[in-house]
Amino acid sequence: MARPVTTIEDLRIKAKRRVPKMFYDYADSGSWTETTYRANETDFAAIRLRQRVAVDMRNRSLASTMAGQPVSMPVALAPTGLTGMQHADGEILAAKAAEKAGIPFTLSTMSICSIEDVAEHTTRPFWFQLYVMKDRAFARALMDRAKAAGCSALVLTLDLQVLGQRHKDIVNGLTTPPKPTLANILNLATKPHWCLGMLGTNRRTFRNIAGHAEGVSDMSSLSAWTAEQFDPALSWDDVKEIKDYWGGTLILKGILDAEDARNAAASGADAIIVSNHGGRQLDGALSSIAALPAIVEAVGERIEVLMDGGVRTGQDVLKAVALGAKGVFIGRAFLYGLGAGGQAGVEKAIEIIAKELDVTMALCGHRDIGNVGKEILVPGTYPT
């Protein structure tokens, strides 16, 4: 009998077996030496929790809000590119799992399934992530489509003006869909579930940017397209312009520095995400959890602070909340679930994190996530 899945690590191992190597590696890697990628997880693990006893732990609640929207727990699915390559129709399946769990799903600009594909298969508003493109008309067209689909927040990613150095993708010759080379054919032959799924869908390339990215399929054409399209001259005035055009809830993603956080708060956005893009952009940057306290201190009174990077357990969620995050995003944790078992796998990932969060909160002596603060952490073990 198969061993039961009890952790996100179990899902990662299953995903590695089921997903073609180039797409598994695309998810489970960081930039350059992967120092920041690793630190995102190890810095969480170094924080110690205070165990409390003889406290009434009945009737617990994880319910909260993120960017003003009710959530069953303070966790959202992060925008991730090529999600439909971890599993056929991946974005649709992840959005459905998030909807079922009562947490937000964020669709990436670089998704395989389009805004319209996801809207057609879901009933609740999802969030849309935008990269700032030089072609402002194209960016506005994407925002128009997101508005038409009923997206209830725009997540504007600021930390990819220039693409980080992702060596694994270059070595693997990442393409979408995979090219029929001998190595790929041999690898795909060991991934029957994935292949069957792909045969059953027509969503195999970047559908949001279709028409704007003819010929973009491999890593070098994607890098060239990114360099040509993404705006290396992006300024806070551009952020304000996008905010005015969007007109709704705006979340700025990729803030890692207190000074940038002050500028973000001044831009009039509703929330920021403390993030280093999951260790995929500036290698050598601080881990997100290490960067969080100074940012909360700088702007926590003025703007909602969210975070992502390295969250693999419900304990990590609680630690981030204790250090002042109103909520967290998970990237790889749900991608592993998706690769391991489609929608059911994402549901499992969310269930694992919710359960760990609930039990840990109780054993730290709290019943309501809204009341959790630094008092649950052992002094000297957490970043300040």
**Cα 2-352-27 angle, rounded to 5 deg:** 80
**Cα 231-236-240 angle, rounded to 5 deg:** 100
Q: Which is nearer to ligand FNR, 78 or 101 (CB)?
A: 78
Q: Which is nearer to ligand FNR, 357 or 366 (CB)?
A: 357
Minimal CB distance residue for ligand FNR: 331
List contacts with ligand FNR (CB under 6 A): 26-27, 40, 78-81, 108, 110, 129, 157, 253, 275, 277-278, 280, 308-311, 329-333
CB of 55 to ligand FNR, least distance (A): 31
Q: Which is nearer to ligand FNR, 128 or 382 (CB)?
A: 128
CB of 139 to ligand FNR, least distance (A): 14
CB of 275 to ligand FNR, least distance (A): 5
Distance between CA atoms of 120 and 135, rounded to whole angstroms? 27
SS3 19: coil
Question: Crossing angle for the helix pair 314-322 and 35-45, nearest 10 degrees?
Answer: 80
Distance between CA atoms of 106 and 78, rounded to whole angstroms? 6
Q: Which is nearer to ligand FNR, 76 or 366 (CB)?
A: 76
Distance between CA atoms of 223 and 243, rounded to whole angstroms? 27
Q: Which is nearer to ligand FNR, 66 or 311 (CB)?
A: 311
* Amino acid in position 258: A
R_g of the chain, CA atoms, integer Å: 20
Residue 277 annotated in active site: yes
SS3 321: helix
CB of 15 to ligand FNR, least distance (A): 12
17: which 2 tokens? 């077996």
CB of 279 to ligand FNR, least distance (A): 7
> Which residues are part of the catalytic machinery?
277
